[in-house]
Amino acid sequence: MVVPRQGDSNPVIIGGLAFDNVTMKEAIDVVEDHIERREGLLVVTTNVDNLLRLGRDEEFRRAYAKAGLVLADGAPLLWVARLQGTPLKTRVTGVDFVVEFCRVAAQRSRRIFFLGGLDGAAQQAAEVLQKRFPELIVVGTHSPSLGFERKEDENRQIIEMVKSKRPDVLFVAVGAPKQEKWLWRHRQDLGPIVCMGVGAAFDFVSGRKRRAPLWMRNRGLEWLWRLAHEPRRLFHRYIIEDFPFLFSLLVKVLTRRLKGIDTQAAPAESTSRQKPDSREDLP
């Protein structure tokens, strides 16, 4: 499975997907550059589960093909990259990006819209961040109904709401692959803004969910913390689906290295990076 996509040069290819090898600061710089030029940008944060889903879901792949920035949100991806001899600089998670970008946005008067979460999670996350960064400009928050993506009237209302607030950045937290598919479907309607799917970021920022201690995050064990706290929801995903996929990926990489095969070898289109030049190219 190879996912052709837009983006910068020098990617690290893992499981057929080109990841941008950037630090948090470099990722924020890319977003800032697109804001300054008023160019649309789709940013996605990817973990092992997303990589697995890409092989099964054609619409999800189409959404990723429009991503201009793909960030590694998952310690196992760093393990694979290191094993294949193409280490990623760091892990950039959705929740960390939201917090750090809001710090920068407060200094540069960027306009932010929070879309997603349940029962006011977006509003709560915005309030927490505005207390932390008093100059932060939050132009709107909205927590859509369950299944909103299938409701034409609600989608139209949400898009008009976002457009009327003229944000520089739209953070969407409704979980993958829903958030990426929604952004892909409505990329033309949203216009030239930066859009980013951030999963459960609002729940963590607002304090609704406790994040793993820093020492666990630094050792790549955040997944274990989440599994321990949400076993019913995450056991099948992490243990039954993701772990065998990760194991097979590691075995393939190790086998290729032992045979002396280039682990980054992939068809040229997998790393094609084209600058958007039409509305069709906007996220």
Q: Is residue 83 part of a domain?
A: yes
Q: Is residue 282 part of a domain?
A: no
Tokens 């973990």: give the residue: 47
Q: Is residue 4 part of a domain?
A: no
Q: Is residue 70 part of a domain?
A: yes
Task: Specify burial of residue 124 (Cβ count, 10 A radius: 0-12, 13-18, 19+).
Answer: buried
Q: Is residue 94 part of a domain?
A: yes
Q: What does the pLDDT profile of the chain (283 residues) look like in tens digits? A: 456 555 555 799 999 999 999 999 999 999 999 999 999 999 999 999 999 999 999 999 999 999 999 999 989 999 999 999 999 999 999 999 999 999 999 999 999 999 999 889 999 999 999 999 999 999 999 999 989 999 999 999 999 999 999 999 999 999 999 999 999 999 889 999 999 999 999 999 999 999 999 999 988 889 899 999 999 999 999 999 999 999 999 999 989 888 877 656 543 334 333 333 333 333 3
Q: Is residue 258 part of a domain?
A: yes
139-143 contacts at long range (C-beta below 8 A, 24 or more positions apart): 139/111, 139/112, 139/113, 139/165, 139/166, 139/167, 140/113, 140/114, 140/165, 140/167, 141/113, 141/114, 141/115, 142/113, 142/114, 142/115, 143/116, 143/117, 143/118, 143/119
Look up the domain containing 205 and give its range. Answer: 12-145+158-276
Q: Is residue 47 part of a domain?
A: yes
Number of domains in the chain: 1
Q: Can you read off the two tokens belonging to residue 238?
A: 């992490």
Q: Is residue 153 part of a domain?
A: no
